[in-house]
Chains A and B, each alone.
Chain A
Amino acid sequence: MDRQLISLKFAMLRHTSAGMRPFGWAVGGVLVAATWAAVVFAAGDEVRSEVTMLLLAAWGVGAALGPVLTSGSGVLKPDYFALLPIERRVIGRGLLVSAFVGVASGYVLLATLATAVHAVWLSPATLLVAAVGAPLTWVLVITASRLVYGLLGAAMRSRFGVEIAAIQFGLMFAVMFTGWMVVQVAVQSVPALLGSGLPNGPITAVLGAFPTSWPVLAIESAAAGEWGVAALLLLALAAVDAVVVISGIALLSPRATTPSRGGRGRARSAGLVAGGGILPRTQLGAVIGKEMRQWTRDPWRSLEIRSGVWTGIAIGFFAWVSGIYAGISAFAGLIVAFMLGLAACNLYGQDGTAVWQNVVGQDKTSVRSDVRGRQWATILVFVPQAILISAIFLLLSQQFWALPTVLAAMPAVFGAASGAAVLVSALGVSPGVDPRMRVGPNDANGNISLHVWVVMVLIAVGVAPTGAAIVLSFASGLPWIVTVLVGFANGWLAAWLLGRVTIAWLTDRMPDVYSRIRYGRIFRAGDQRGILAWIERTTLRGEQRMQEQRQKAREERVKATS
């Protein structure tokens, strides 16, 4: 059974596109090398001990959260086997065993073996302890990882799962945008860590309590001649392993579940359904209400918002702790406003085939209401979060000189971002997984590489007047109130103008938006000239090319396996 499940896992991996997997493998390899290098180059036994424990704990946390970020292809789920006439525990065990076979698992094993370096330095005889401790740690980390994934599998539809994925995306974006700050901080702090270890305090005690640290402590006890203590530590680790393995098998055994009736047990928006609601009872109000609910309830869209917010937090935090760039952290809220542009650059794609409603419900004002409603909803959803993040980081960093700039830039960025996002959404519809089929927040876009660039350019151009006003206020003493007013006027104008262009574009083209989602192509006749038509064509071609590549890769895989 175990062997069949392992083959099935590999078959599933073969039949899904590699996506980010090669990148992940490269990063994993670098991390293993960095782990070994850190342990080898740590100055002195005490520092090496702390560094090893810290890194093993990081591997444990990383392995627990890592699979959540990936779309989980190759992860076998208990439900697949629920109807097989096989003992449930056998399936549970097989599923757990299959988690140990793979590249990531191999990396974890290599990383845990870095304890051998510590053992060699202390006393080569303790290599025996390392040889037992490393596999035990490996079992713990991989089983715990599968356990967390299994538990989060259910939570992925909940706010908690979205939040965890959002933190990871936020960190990723933050590193992409301001990686240099991280590198600088790392360059400053890694030698300090490797030279003098962790700062004194409770952190070392807490770290020692982590089961991943016990092999390190066991090696040290053995080196000090206390072989009994070493054995006890290893036994304790084995006991923890046993507990997680038993829980893992229990969790992964398919269970007979009663079908849920869905829903949360009490009505939503009763006032709205009864004819009320706080929004205007108009076509525009209807779209704003629908969109705001989609933003907060759809896991994909929630993830977009929360990733934007966490990007702001991560950049603000990096800048704040770097010391040198503390001034930048005052602008963390602006990052959130900017991220609106990226989060909402595929609104129609996020709607999926539900766009049919916009086509059959078309009237004289429907396109305008739809575009404006979507703009208002994105702004209403993002603004409170951006204000909150701004306030927090202004207070933390104490960079109050930045306040007028933030006040002027915020409305400008919001206006330009909401306009850019809706325009690019209309031009470059990229269907992800259709809403009916979505299960997790990672069921997202197709190829949106061009979208991101167009949005960034539009935002940069769109906020230029405010940028000029800010420069003027610094250079020639233009009163701040004027700059702030320019920011508001600029934001309103950018949102209005880009929205206006979108409305004009979509008025006769709603069926084409639907066609791109439903059929992956456009059936409109006639040569279309101009920059907008170029963006439409290029994004469509990008999407089709991605589909072709997927198809080709699939065919090659089939050919290779047959």
Chain B
Amino acid sequence: MCDARPLRHAGDMVSHTAPSSEPQFAFELDGLRREFSGKVAVDDVSLRVPHGSFYGLVGPNGAGKTTALSMAVGLLRPSAGTAYVQGIDVWRDPIGAKRRLGVLPDGLALPERLTGGELLTYWGRFRGLDASAVASRTEELLRVLELDEAERLGTLVGEYSTGMRKKIGLATALLHSPSVLVLDEPYEAVDPVSARVLTSILRRFTATGGSIVISSHVMSLVETLCDRVAIIAAGSVLADGTLDEVRAGGTLEDRFVELVGSTDLSDEELSWIGS
């Protein structure tokens, strides 16, 4: 399962409470579990993301993808289990782990009353980057992600469209040059042109040894982008491995439907539509 690629930031390596002495994986979810009022939302989820891997987490709405990723990046305390970033325990050494992580959560607020440029400037300086590096990266990210016109117009993040929010969120995740990116639904509402830009950014990221985990419920997208994939439903991992292992000769969608099940529409149902 381990795809031994060279470490991206070998100098950053910190030996910590890792599952093994040598961190084989860039990112690892280890037995994560979360209950809400007795109801299990995430049930013993373990995933291993090798260095340089583009990992897709697919599942229906409410499968527990966001909850699992929230625990893995240190946002939500797990009932059991933990996560490791390059071998560093996210919950025991949050500072060490979070330095290496870039996160794009789904559906959360940002400082809404800042412009994209102000937000990136705040975020870069908050993360301890040098002011000149912050300025040049901000300018570049706004330009590449086509948010520069909104910046010129003084548009606040709160006034951004959903796609623009995703892009500025991605920019905040990338700004401090992390080793592992965890992106929750990064392509949602992003227009096709921006999606191409996004894809080339992410591909370049993995080409330099960085690892990415994305969650999505768009099978075709995951099939195009990811080399590894996990199918999650009702809080449990139903299948994981390389893309070819998981889809087992068919398409990812077929495999997904086979594992998760589907609701078929009979001829009688909704027959009034279009009548």
Task: Give 26 pairs: A residue, B residue, CB < 8 Å, sorted on A.
Answer: A263-B159, A266-B152, A267-B115, A268-B115, A269-B118, A272-B118, A273-B117, A281-B131, A283-B128, A286-B122, A286-B123, A286-B126, A290-B126, A293-B118, A294-B111, A354-B108, A354-B110, A354-B111, A356-B105, A357-B172, A369-B126, A511-B75, A514-B75, A514-B76, A518-B76, A523-B76
Interface residue? B26 (CB, 8 A): no
Residue of B nearest to A354 (CB): B109
Interface residue? A168 (CB, 8 A): no
A286 with B125: CB separation less than 8 A: yes
Interface string of B59-98 (1 = CB under 8 A from A): 0000000000000011111010000000000000011001
Question: Number of residue pairs across A and B with beta carbons under 8 Å?
Answer: 159
A283 with B125: CB separation less than 8 A: yes
Which residues on A sit within 8 Å (CB–CB) of B121? 269, 272-273, 277, 286
Q: For the complex, what is the distance from the CA of A256 to the CA of B179, rounded to whole Å?
A: 48
Which of A13-21, A50-58, A192-200, A359-367 forms part of the interface with chain B?
A: A359-367
Size of A's binding interface in residues, CB under 8 A = 54
Q: For the complex, what is the distance from the CA of A83 to the CA of B115, rounded to whole Å?
A: 32
Which residues on B sit within 8 Å (CB–CB) of A525? 77
Q: For the complex, what is the distance from the CA of A273 to the CA of B117, rounded to whole Å?
A: 6
> Given the interface contacts A275-B135, A286-B126, does A435 sit within 8 Å of B154 by beta carbon?
no
Residue of B nearest to A299 (CB): B113
> Given the interface contacts A281-B125, A286-B122, A523-B76, does A297 sit within 8 Å of B113 by beta carbon?
yes
Interface residue? A559 (CB, 8 A): no
- Checking B115, B125, B135, B153 against A274 with a beta-carbon cut-off of 8 angstroms, the contacting residue is B135
B110 with A357: CB separation less than 8 A: yes
A356 with B159: CB separation less than 8 A: no
Which residues on B sit within 8 Å (CB–CB) of A277? 121
Cβ distance A508 to chain B, nearest Cβ, rounded Å? 9
Residue of B nearest to A260 (CB): B159
Which residues on B sit within 8 Å (CB–CB) of A262? 150, 153, 155-156, 159-160
Which residues of A are in contact with B by a Cβ distance under 8 Å?
A: 261-269, 272-275, 277, 281-283, 285-287, 289-290, 293-294, 297-298, 351-354, 356-357, 359-366, 369, 434-436, 438, 511-512, 514-515, 518-519, 523-525
B108 with A353: CB separation less than 8 A: yes
Interface residue? B196 (CB, 8 A): no
Q: For the complex, what is the distance from the CA of A519 to the CA of B109, rounded to whole Å?
A: 14
Q: For the complex, what is the distance from the CA of A436 to the CA of B164, rounded to whole Å?
A: 14
Q: For the complex, what is the distance from the CA of A285 to the CA of B128, rounded to whole Å?
A: 11
Which residues on A sit within 8 Å (CB–CB) of B233? none
A265 with B131: CB separation less than 8 A: no
Which residues on A sit within 8 Å (CB–CB) of B155? 261-263
B135 with A293: CB separation less than 8 A: no
Q: Which of B14-31 contact A (CB under 8 A)?
A: none
Which residues on A sit within 8 Å (CB–CB) of B139? 273-274
Which residues on A sit within 8 Å (CB–CB) of B159? 262-263
Interface residue? B112 (CB, 8 A): yes
Q: Which residue among A286, A362, A511 has the maximum number of chain B CB atoms within 10 Å of its CB?
A: A286
In the complex, the 7 A-B pairs of residues with the closest C-beta atoms, listed nearest first: A262-B159, A275-B135, A263-B155, A286-B125, A273-B117, A263-B153, A297-B113
Which residues on B sit within 8 Å (CB–CB) of A365? 128
B151 with A273: CB separation less than 8 A: yes
Residue of A nearest to B150 (CB): A263
Q: Which residue among B113, B123, B152 has the maximum number of chain A CB atoms within 10 Å of its CB?
A: B113
B95 with A435: CB separation less than 8 A: no
Residue of A nearest to B77 (CB): A523
Which residues on B sit within 8 Å (CB–CB) of A283? 125-126, 128
Which residues on A sit within 8 Å (CB–CB) of B225? none
- Checking A263, A265, A287 against B156 with a beta-carbon cut-off of 8 angstroms, the contacting residue is A263
Cβ distance A176 to chain B, nearest Cβ, rounded Å? 29
Which residues on A sit within 8 Å (CB–CB) of B76? 511, 514-515, 518-519, 523
> Given the interface contacts A287-B126, A298-B113, A523-B76, does A275 sit within 8 Å of B108 by beta carbon?
no
A363 with B128: CB separation less than 8 A: yes
Interface residue? B262 (CB, 8 A): no
B74 with A511: CB separation less than 8 A: yes
B111 with A524: CB separation less than 8 A: no
- Checking A293, A362, A369 against B95 with a beta-carbon cut-off of 8 angstroms, the contacting residue is A362
Which residues on A sit within 8 Å (CB–CB) of B272? none
Residue of A nearest to B182 (CB): A360
Cβ distance B154 to chain A, nearest Cβ, rounded Å? 4
B153 with A266: CB separation less than 8 A: yes
Interface string of B108-148 (1 = CB under 8 A from A): 11111111011011111111100110111011000000000
Which residues on B sit within 8 Å (CB–CB) of A369? 126
Given A264-B154, A523-B77, output 11 extra A-B contacts at Cβ < 8 Å: A267-B153, A282-B125, A290-B111, A298-B112, A298-B113, A356-B105, A357-B123, A360-B98, A511-B75, A511-B77, A515-B76
Interface residue? B163 (CB, 8 A): no
Which residues on A sit within 8 Å (CB–CB) of B241? none
> Given the interface contacts A361-B98, A363-B95, A511-B75, does A434 sit within 8 Å of B109 by beta carbon?
yes
Cβ distance B161 to chain A, nearest Cβ, rounded Å? 9
> Given the interface contacts A273-B135, A290-B122, does A360 sit within 8 Å of B128 by beta carbon?
no
Interface residue? B103 (CB, 8 A): yes
Which residues on B sit within 8 Å (CB–CB) of A263? 150, 153-156, 159
> Given the interface contacts A290-B122, A436-B112, A511-B77, does A275 sit within 8 Å of B134 by beta carbon?
yes
Q: For the complex, what is the distance from the CA of A297 to the CA of B117, rounded to whole Å?
A: 16
A360 with B108: CB separation less than 8 A: no
Which residues on A sit within 8 Å (CB–CB) of B74? 359-360, 362, 511
Interface residue? B101 (CB, 8 A): yes
Which residues on B sit within 8 Å (CB–CB) of A511? 74-77
Q: For the complex, what is the distance from the CA of A366 to the CA of B76, rounded to whole Å?
A: 19
Cβ distance A21 to chain B, nearest Cβ, rounded Å? 29
Q: For the complex, what is the distance from the CA of A363 to the CA of B134, rounded to whole Å?
A: 17
Residue of B nearest to A294 (CB): B113
Q: For the complex, what is the distance from the CA of A262 to the CA of B111, rounded to whole Å?
A: 16
Cβ distance A514 to chain B, nearest Cβ, rounded Å? 6
A297 with B156: CB separation less than 8 A: yes
A269 with B117: CB separation less than 8 A: yes
- Checking A267, A275, A518 against B154 with a beta-carbon cut-off of 8 angstroms, the contacting residue is A267
Residue of B nearest to A369 (CB): B126
Which residues on A sit within 8 Å (CB–CB) of B131? 275, 281
Q: For the complex, what is the distance from the CA of A359 to the CA of B101, rounded to whole Å?
A: 12
Q: For the complex, what is the distance from the CA of A525 to the CA of B110, rounded to whole Å?
A: 28
- Checking A261, A356, A438 against B108 with a beta-carbon cut-off of 8 angstroms, the contacting residue is A356
Q: For the complex, what is the distance from the CA of A515 to the CA of B99, rounded to whole Å?
A: 21
